[in-house]
Each structure stands twice: as structure tokens, then as C-alpha cells.
Amino acid sequence: MDVEGMGSEDWEELQRNLTETIPVYDRINRFATLGQVSRWRRIVRDLLPEGKVLEVGCGPGSFAEEVVGKELVCLDPIPEMLTTAEKRVNQARKERGDPPAVFIQSTAEDMPFEDDSFDAICSLFSFRDWYDKKKGLSECLRVLKPNSPVIIVDPAKINRVHGILGVLWMRTWVGAYARIVCGQRNHPWKWLTKTYSEFGTTRDYVSMLKDLGFTDVRARVIFPGMATIWFARSP
């Protein structure tokens, strides 16, 4: 596992662990982010343009549930995540009078969409898990319409010292809470620390986006150690 991705054994083990987080996902996420996660999700929602939006790595639908008034496609490789998300998201959309969202089982690295399909792509707390980040971003570029945004949120490090503090926070505080909530010493949230440790800095992914040909590339740390937001456009 490194800044650019991970091998297939690690990724498959990560997927097994992510599946186990489903019943406690929102609760632990709120705790791990000190309740800030709703605010970060709102920032992304406010940046989405009108039209057809793709969320890559939708997980159990925590972000997608509150995407209002847009045509929405949710992609995730884990069938259990998609089943949980579909129920929750489409119930909320039905109550609001939005058309149902579409749920697709696949990965960022291999998207089953035509070129120039989407007006925006977002990915929250998933980019860290992509096994080949360059390939996933190239796919985003391919399926985005021209001059359309990709918006990514994940906890990047500012520098090495900051990374060490972040790992301590995840391992001790969040890890202890997850152990209590999950009721098991070997709880699946251990993988959060692992992917966090190997994830790069804000600047690493600004460079990656620019190198792949995105324009208007910007990044902002919205909460040090917990959330950076990257914004870029297809040319």
C-alpha cells in the first residue's frame, strides 16, 4: 500500500473490513470526525452543479441520501453497501419527489460508463481506498463531460509530523471507540488507520490531478488531518 494505491490482497482485505463496518458506519464516522462530517458533506453538495452526478464509493449512502434535485448515479464495489444505500437513498428521494438514483457495482478504476456521461463526479472518504488512484482519476476524466468538476474529500496529511499525530488519533482514540461499539478487539476499523497511514499529502494529489490533465486544480484543508477537499475540472 502506498500513496498511489495498493495490491489486490490488501484491497480485498480492506473490502471485507469495510463490509463489516456497515451497521456502525455512520455512528463511528460521526465520532471520528467530531461531528464535523455533516458540514463537510454540505460543502460538497453546495458545489455540485445541475445535471447528472456520479458518486464514486457511495458506501452505505450517507452522502447520497442528501443529494437533492439531481440525477444521481452511485457506484461502489461492495454489493452489501449498494443494497444498504439503495434502500436508504431511494426512500429519501421518493419522499422528496426526486426520481430514483441508479446503483452500479464497479470500481473507480473500471467504470462501466460511456465517455462524457456526467456533469459532476464526487467521492467522499473513498479515494483513500482506491487500489489505483491514477487509473481511477483517469476514468473520472474520461466519463466527465468537458469543463465539469470532480470533487474529492479525504483525510490527507499536511506533512510527516502531522501524519504521525493523525495515526495516533486514529489508532488510540477512534480505535478504542470502534472496539467498544463493535464489541471486538479485532474490529474492522483498524483498516482506517492503515489506509490513513499510507495516504499521501494534499499536495501529492494536487500534482496527480494536474499530471493527468485536470484543469483548475485546487485543494483546501477543511479540517487538519481529517478532511481535505480537492476540486478540479475536466478540460
Ligand X SMILES: C[S@@+](CC[C@H](N)C(=O)[O-])C[C@H]1O[C@@H](n2cnc3c(N)ncnc32)[C@H](O)[C@@H]1O
CA angle 116, 90, 46 (to 5 degrees): 55
Of the candidates 90, 87, 59, the one whose C-alpha atom is nearest the C-alpha of residue 75 is 59
Q: Is 154 in the site for ligand X (CB under 6 A)?
A: no
- Per-residue binding string, ligand X, 26-65, x by CB under 6 A, is ------------------------------xxxx--xx--
CB of 72: closest distance to ligand X in angstroms? 13
- Using CB under 6 A as the binding criterion, the count of chain residues that bind ligand X stands at 21
Gap between the Cα atoms of 18 and 182, Å rounded? 13
Least Cβ distance, residue 161 to ligand X (angstroms):
26
Instruction: Note whether 108 binds ligand X by CB under 6 A.
Output: yes
Q: Is 107 in the site for ligand X (CB under 6 A)?
A: yes
Q: How far is the CB of 106 from ligand X (least distance, A)?
A: 7
Q: Is 129 in the site for ligand X (CB under 6 A)?
A: yes
Q: Which is nearer to ligand X, 56 or 232 (CB)?
A: 56
Query: Locate cell 463531460: which residue?
Result: 145
User: Which of the stretches 125-133, 137-145, 156-164, 216-224 binds ligand X when contact is defined by CB under 6 A?
Assistant: 125-133
Between 34 and 161, CB nearer to ligand X: 34
Rounded least distance, CB 130 to ligand X, Å: 4
Cβ-based nearer residue to ligand X, 58 or 101: 58
Residue 104 to residues 75, 87, 123, 136: CA-CA distances in angstroms?
5, 14, 15, 16
121 vs 217 by CB, closer to ligand X? 121
- Which residue lies nearer to ligand X by CB, 120 or 160? 120
- Kindly give, in sequence order, each residue whose CB lies less than 8 Å from that of residue 104, ignoring residues fewer than 6 positions away: 73, 74, 75, 76, 82, 112
**55: closest CA among 147, 125, 156, 138?**
125
Cβ atoms within 10 Å, residue 101:
23
Identity of residue 217: V
Q: How far is the CB of 126 from ligand X (least distance, A)?
A: 3
**C-beta separation of 82 from 103 below 8 A:** yes
Hey, is 184 helix, strand or coil?
A: coil
Q: Which stretches of the chain bind ligand X, using CB under 6 A?
A: 15, 18, 56-59, 62-63, 76-78, 81, 107-109, 124-126, 129-131
